[in-house]
């Protein structure tokens, strides 16, 4: 009789335990956004001041690839650019000198024309005085001769100017073509300098995110090539748990929903966090072997991501629980 009562009591206890509500609706593992930082330049790794577990700021320089040859190449290009600038200035000065000489000759022509006009007025005045008998004929003839000399001088100067202008124009066209060629060369060198500057900037190893270095693949002094992985950095302050829920649970979950997240340290040692559902998979998948849901018999589940703010206790790969 006592044995029968004991068996019945045990059955009631087991039944009560089986009906006890779970403290969680789903479980999963904690993850973080991870970025693999690769070399953007080829050369010797002259400095890498980073160790696993070290926190780095976004945009902070944590190392350098040797850029001595790039800096020497830049100096060489700058010297070539200065030479081209000097050549362009010299050509421009020659063209300006030609333009100045043409202007001087035009002024010379204007002076001769003015002298002819003055002489013609003087001839007219003396011609009237000669008619009145006030001056001798020779004075009128001298002025006429002076006008004739000036006109011949004007014609000769005009011929010379036409010839010189044609030569100057040809020379200036050649100079302009040379200046254009020099300008194009300068543009090409400027573009090369910009490329070198970009390569020099890429020689700096810059953290793309704020986070913690979780893996280090190289050491100081190693030769690296473009694309070689150097470090892996994880954003351990903004972590998330990837959990799996059944289709029955899915109808009560939406993006932006606030939930409770618990870390599982074993022996019922837990920390509680406020979480936010940030992603729900559109496709079902078979239940991962390491995941438990409130319906362990379900074959198909949906993955969800729940973001939390890490206080330093949550580690990548740690198991956790979710209460919706």
Span 33-58, pLDDT tens digits: 999 999 999 999 999 998 999 999 99
Give the integer Cα–Cα distance in Å for 220 and 46. 6
Q: Which residues contact residue 43 at a Cβ distance below 8 angstroms, ignoring those fewer than 6 apart?
A: 65, 66, 67, 69, 203, 223, 224
Between 93 and 293, the more confident residue is 93
**Lowest model confidence (mean pLDDT) among 258-262, 266-270, 290-294:** 290-294
Q: Above pLDDT 70, what percent of the chain?
A: 89
Give the integer Cα–Cα distance in Å for 30 and 11. 38
pLDDT value of position 63: 94
Give the integer Cα–Cα distance in Å for 298 and 76. 70
Give the integer Cα–Cα distance in Å for 17 and 268. 17
Give the closest residue to 86 by CA, choosing from 156, 164, 212, 186: 186
Q: In what order do the strands lie in the sheet with 223-224?
A: 204-206, 61-65, 43-48, 223-224
Inter-residue contact 301 to 243 (CB < 8 Å): no
Vertex 315 angle, CA 314 and 316, to 5°: 130
**Share in percent of the chain as helix, strand, coil (round to 5):** 45, 30, 25
Q: How many CB atoms lie within 10 A of CB 246?
A: 21
Q: Which two tokens stand for residue 93?
A: 């000065």
Confidence category of residue 211, pLDDT binned at 50, 70, 90:
very high
Give the integer Cα–Cα distance in Å for 319 and 288. 13
pLDDT value of position 150: 87
Vertex 307 angle, CA 305 and 313, to 5°: 120
- Give the DSSP letter of residue 293: B
Inter-residue contact 64 to 46 (CB < 8 Å): yes
Hey, which residues does 292 pair with through a beta bridge? none
The tokens 């992985």 sit on which residue? 229
Between 203 and 4, the more confident residue is 203
Give the closest residue to 288 by CA, choosing from 306, 278, 277, 303: 303
Q: Is the pTM of this model over 0.95?
A: no
124 — alpha (psi -120 to 50), left (phi > 0) or beta? alpha
- Say whether pLDDT at 110 is over 60: yes
Confidence category of residue 13, pLDDT binned at 50, 70, 90:
very low
Give the integer Cα–Cα distance in Å for 156 and 136. 31
Give the integer Cα–Cα distance in Å for 150 and 113. 8
pLDDT value of position 129: 83
* pLDDT average, residue stretch 87-107: 86
Inter-residue contact 232 to 83 (CB < 8 Å): no
Inter-residue contact 23 to 321 (CB < 8 Å): yes
Burial label, 104 (beta-carbon count in 10 A; 0-12, 13-18, 19+)? exposed
Q: Which two tokens stand for residue 77?
A: 């290009």
The tokens 């078979």 sit on which residue? 286
């Amino acid at each position: 009789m006592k044995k029968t009562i004991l068996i019945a009591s045990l059955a009631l206890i087991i039944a009560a335990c089986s009906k006890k509500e779970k403290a969680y609706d789903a479980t999963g593992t904690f993850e973080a956004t991870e970025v693999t930082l690769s070399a953007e330049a080829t050369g010797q790794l002259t400095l890498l001041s980073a160790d696993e577990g070290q926190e780095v700021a976004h945009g902070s320089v944590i190392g350098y690839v040797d850029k001595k040859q790039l800096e020497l190449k830049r100096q060489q290009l700058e010297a070539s650019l200065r030479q081209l600038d000097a050549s362009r200035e010299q050509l421009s000065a020659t063209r300006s000198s030609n333009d100045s000489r043409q202007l001087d000759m035009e002024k010379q022509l204007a002076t001769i024309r003015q002298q002819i006009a003055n002489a013609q007025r003087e001839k007219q005045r003396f011609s009237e005085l000669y008619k009145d008998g006030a001056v001798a004929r020779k004075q009128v003839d001298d002025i006429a001769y002076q006008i004739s000399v000036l006109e011949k001088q004007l014609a000769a100067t005009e011929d010379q100017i036409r010839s010189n202008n044609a030569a100057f124009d040809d020379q200036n066209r050649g100079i302009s073509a040379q200046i254009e060629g020099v300008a194009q060369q300068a543009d090409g060198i400027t573009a090369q300098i910009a490329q070198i500057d970009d390569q020099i900037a890429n020689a700096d190893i810059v953290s793309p995110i704020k986070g913690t270095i979780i893996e280090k693949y190289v050491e100081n002094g190693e030769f690296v090539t473009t694309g070689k992985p150097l470090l892996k950095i994880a954003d351990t302050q903004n972590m998330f748990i990837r959990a799996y829920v059944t289709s029955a649970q899915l109808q009560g979950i939406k993006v932006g929903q606030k939930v409770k997240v618990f870390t599982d340290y074993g022996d019922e040692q837990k920390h509680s966090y406020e979480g936010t559902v940030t992603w729900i998979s559109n496709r079902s998948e078979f239940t991962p072997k390491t995941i438990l849901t409130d319906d362990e018999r379900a074959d198909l589940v949906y993955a969800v991501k729940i973001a939390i703010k890490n206080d330093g206790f949550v580690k990548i790969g740690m198991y956790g629980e979710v209460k919706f």
